[in-house]
Amino acid sequence: MANIYPFAGAALQSDNTCKFSVWAPFRQQVALSVIQPEPQIYPMQRDDKGYWHTTIEGLSAGVRYKYILDEATTLPDPASRYQPEGVHGPSEVINPDFEWTDNSWAGLELRDLIIYELHTGTFSQTHDFQGIIDKLGYLRSLGITAIELMPVGQFPGDRNWGYDGVYPFAVQNSYGGVNGLKALVNAAHQHGIAVILDVVYNHLGPEGNYFAQYGPWFTDKYKTPWGPALNFDDAWCDAVRAYYIQNALMWLDEFHIDGLRMDAVHAIWDCGAHHFTAELSALVDALQASSGKKKFLIAEIDLNSPKYITPREKGGYGMHGQWIDEFHHALHSLLTGEVNGYYADFGGLGPMAKSYQDSYVFTGEYSGVRKRHFGVAPLRNDYHQFVVFAQNHDQIGNRMLGDRLTTQLSFEAQKLAAAVVLLSPHIPLLFMGEEYGETRPFQFFTSHSDKDLIAAVTNGRREEFASFAWEGEVPDPQSVETFNNSTLSWHTRTDNAAALMELYRFLIAFRRTRQAMLNTSREGVKVQIPQVEEQLLLVERSGNDDHLLLLFNFSDHAVTYQYTGSGELLKKFDSAAAIWHGPGSTTPDQATTSEAISIQPFSAIVYEII
């Protein structure tokens, strides 16, 4: 197991010493270069696993250092906990102590999550963790139970989505560093909100990436969209696996973070007998057992394979949940009519119904985009193992203009999209600002310093959108204006914004209090398309003698539905109602068998069956 390997980095000890350890198996000499407060060089000793160590007396937090490799190259620490001068500067020794006040916090079950994804830099005008802390009360009043932070590992400059990070252990200096993140987690728990951290274990960013100079961190066995694959199964891979496992456990243990959203797990290439994610999930489960705090792993996977979220004892990898992009694609194509690029596999009511019922859209069918049969049905996995959304950072930010659904859909269609997500049996995820109809885009932005890299990123963005045939100019990722344009406006006082927020608040409360909504078993959901030509989707949800009928009209005209079931219908929600700033409800408050129900265009109805 990975924990037989020594921890890499700098660690202050209780006896007023500081231990340094770095993995550089092919180097002949490694030395510690203390830069501040007084320059000093200390030789390091190699062990039989390729780690170099030294323990220095009298050092304290704030000491800045680098490593000297073979008396020629001076580089920051790959396991740095803080990079106060950015990705090229010296690393800094930190004091891990923090005055936590969340001892009573035990975490949340997956089924209880209402996730709000946000980007620290663009969520508030302060562009830092404190800006999030200031809004926790608002998020709790909305009904949010978990915030998901886009990656916070140190990246180049002060503007980046976070996926270009090159120091996975170091909290971004411009966001508030180690104590800033711990303060956020502590405050979130005081508000009853869990914290999920997005982590990137499939690649490292290009600028400031000195890992290959230390050792065999990468392998040529596989290809990724970002360059050489990280070495999870080739020669010398044990230390790489240990590094990322220790990183995950650091966030979950030392930082009290509740769960990790693991980016693009399908690009973690591991053909070994014990897959990296299975090894990690076993250690996370052990941490949960020893700490008494709920901990979980949610994977982003471009594979319709439930193996990743199937228990290890049943032959799976034991991760706890996964994102479902296909639910988004089905909903987006249905509402916008876009069927280009990867949306070509979607469009129409069928894929939406399929994802609502089966979570995946492709469960063995032929995919025209992939040019092969794809996926398998997750019949043994409950709905609460799947995270769905109408918007997220990828699906907005990877559009050419970063335009949100707010600017693509009518107000009625926006409310319908919210209802489809929040009334689904899956875990719902909102992207920051969608609850009040934010109109500012979320665009791709960077602050690299390498001119060649800047040009390559800009050109790469242009080429990426060729298959979508979108019109307009690609925003300049390096421009401060692109970043500023993506910062939330918080314009919440218009009539539509106020009504939309109240609709989100109502639906979140509704799903958390109705037994039918709380039931996430496969047996509790039945999906039908009673009128294909009318774009009407019918969903029945049940649990503990609570029975609900959901009607979603995706067409631009009113649709008439004739209820043929047993029992009386009692209306609980209508997105077209005046209270939600709609055109007015045309559905009866009560209905019986054979009674015709007229449903407004682009609207969602909820009836209780009594």
Catalytic residue IDs: 263, 300
Q: Are the C-beta atoms of residues 514 and 546 closer than 8 Å to each other?
A: yes
Q: Are the C-beta atoms of residues 13 and 93 closer than 8 Å to each other?
A: no
The count of residues in the chain is 610
Going by the annotation, the residues of the binding site are 261-266, 325-329, 393-398
**Omega of the bond leading into 37 within 30 degrees of 0 (cis):** yes
Nearest to 287 by CA among 252, 320, 257, 316: 252
Q: Which residues contact 493 (CB under 8 A, 6 or more apart)?
A: none
SS3 call for 423: coil
Measured distance CA(346)–CA(69) in Å, rounded? 53
Nearest to 525 by CA among 552, 553, 554, 547: 547
The two three-digit tokens of residue 361, written as one number: 């859209």
Q: Which residues contact 478 (CB under 8 A, 6 or more apart)?
A: 445, 446, 447, 448, 454, 457, 458
Nearest to 401 by CA among 477, 325, 497, 487: 477
Going by the annotation, the residues of the binding site for substrate are 261-266, 325-329, 393-398
Q: Give the residues across from 550 on adjacent strands.
A: 539, 606
Say if residue 449 is exposed, middle or buried (CB neighbours under 10 Å; 0-12, 13-18, 19+): middle
Q: What angle do CA 299, 305, 306 make, to 5 degrees?
A: 75
The two three-digit tokens of residue 482, written as one number: 């692109």
Say if residue 342 is exposed, middle or buried (CB neighbours under 10 Å; 0-12, 13-18, 19+): middle
Measured distance CA(388)–CA(331) in Å, rounded? 10
Q: How many other C-beta atoms are found inside a 10 Å radius of the C-beta of residue 187?
A: 20
Q: Are the C-beta atoms of residues 94 and 178 closer than 8 Å to each other?
A: yes
Q: Is 72 left (phi over 0), alpha (psi -120 to 50) or beta?
A: alpha
Measured distance CA(545)–CA(541) in Å, rounded? 10
Measured distance CA(397)–CA(442) in Å, rounded? 5
Measured distance CA(391)–CA(410) in Å, rounded? 15
Measured distance CA(361)–CA(348) in Å, rounded? 12
Measured distance CA(49)–CA(145) in Å, rounded? 43
